[in-house]
Amino acid sequence: MLVVIANHLPPAVRGRMKLWFIEPRPNVFISGIKDSVADSVVNYLLEHCPLESGLLIFQRSNHTPGYKIRGLGDHTRTLVQITGMQLVQEKDGQSDNNMLIPF
């Protein structure tokens, strides 16, 4: 499984994404493609999307904890790793407190 969340995608990339993914909300793409195809799609996204795209990519993995998270560009979330587990840290706009959100 592959989930891609973006701030903005170039029109050509967005059109290609619609070949492999459903888009339940604008700039949120979900697909159940095979792992080998998912790797190709992730490489395509990383090569063809500018930093302004703000990509957050969640990919299934056979290793613990069962997923990989990748990010590209400026987004409101930060990827952190605690004792080998990848987490998404979301910045709270109203206070200095940060909240860890496991996926």
Strand runs labelled E in the chain: 2-5, 22-25, 28-31, 55-60, 67-72, 77-82, 85-91, 98-101
pTM for this prediction: 0.73
* Domain presence at residue 26: yes
Listed as ranges, residues in the chain with pLDDT below 50 are: 94-103
Question: What per-residue confidence (pLDDT) applies to 94?
Answer: 46
Which structural domain range is residue 11 located in?
Answer: 2-74
CATH code for the domain of 6: 3.30.70.240
* Domain presence at residue 70: yes
Domain count, the chain: 1
Q: Which of 61, 62, 63, 45 is nearest to 8 (CA)?
A: 45
Average pLDDT, the chain: 82
User: pLDDT for 35-48, tens place per residue?
Assistant: 889 999 999 999 99
